């Protein structure tokens, strides 16, 4: 019997991969990887390691989740060290818990190696603190992909009145609905908001505005997945930092 490492690859920048994650990738016999895993990270594996793409894009899954779990179990049962490589962190909207349960039920030894999730990595890369003294003492990570499913949608009313900073994954396609829900339950339309596209990568693009105009900004600038939405007063810190950096650069120049 082999073993399984469920590994977080981080938010995109390969240098944000943990040392422990890299070591597991280097010793893997089989690597099953997701769509948002940087290809540079795959190069850390052994040349002879089998690499299998099992990524999911909005509206298009290369393989059903149950089939992915069967593949993990199949290769591990044959005596291989299997690395299940995921963007971000396996336990933050990564279905890592489902895969851990499947592997454990099959009696296979496994471990979970955390990764920097996009909420943390992309926000920091864009200069947005999720908590900031005097502005934000709490934050919540939610998914926007269930906005049309009232039975499992985020509890927007509770979030509006109890959390300072909202970080929304998979929300670009439902941005207008998210905005409407937040305004409906009393969120100030002037609340600063940011959209971070391809966070931590060379293609990173950050757009800032307000809750009131964020959907129009996203449409006008053609923001697309993968993108993160951040709503809260601490978003304004980004502009302060950019202003200070410009001042430093002008003094140096």
Residues with catalytic annotation? Answer: 34, 56, 170
Separation CA 139–CA 101 (nearest Å): 28
Structure tokens at 196: 């971070």
Nearest Cα to Cα of residue 123 among 195, 188, 174, 176: 195
What is the C-alpha to C-alpha distance for residues 147 and 118, in angstroms, rounded to an integer? 20
**Whether 18 contacts 41, CB under 8 Å:** no
**Reading across the β-sheet that carries 109-113, which strands appear in turn?**
50-53, 30-33, 81-86, 3-8, 109-113
């Amino acid at each position: 019997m082999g073993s399984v490492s469920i590994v977080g690859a981080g938010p995109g920048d390969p240098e944000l991969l943990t040392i422990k994650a890299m070591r597991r990738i280097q010793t893997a016999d089989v690597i099953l990887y997701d769509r948002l895993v940087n290809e540079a990270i795959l190069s850390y594996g052994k040349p002879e390691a089998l690499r299998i793409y099992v990524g999911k894009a909005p509206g298009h899954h290369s393989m059903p989740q149950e089939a992915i779990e069967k593949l993990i179990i199949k290769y591990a049962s044959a005596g291989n060290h299997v690395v299940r490589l995921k963007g971000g962190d396996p336990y933050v909207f990564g279905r890592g818990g489902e895969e851990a349960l499947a592997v454990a039920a099959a009696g296979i030894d496994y471990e979970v190696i955390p990764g920097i999730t996009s909420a943390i990595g992309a926000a920091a890369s864009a200069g947005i603190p999720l908590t900031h003294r005097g502005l934000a003492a709490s934050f919540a990570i939610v998914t926007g992909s269930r906005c049309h499913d009232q039975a499992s949608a985020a509890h927007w009313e509770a979030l509006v009145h109890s959390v300072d900073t909202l970080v929304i994954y998979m929300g670009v396609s439902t941005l207008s609905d998210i905005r409407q829900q937040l305004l409906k339950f009393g969120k100030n339309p002037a609340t600063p908001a940011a959209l971070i596209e391809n966070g931590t990568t060379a293609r990173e693009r950050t757009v800032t505005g307000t809750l009131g105009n964020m959907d129009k900004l996203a449409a006008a600038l053609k923001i697309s997945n993968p993108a993160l939405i951040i709503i809260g007063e601490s978003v304004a810190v980004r502009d302060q930092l950019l202003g200070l950096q410009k001042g430093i650069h002008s003094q140096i120049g």
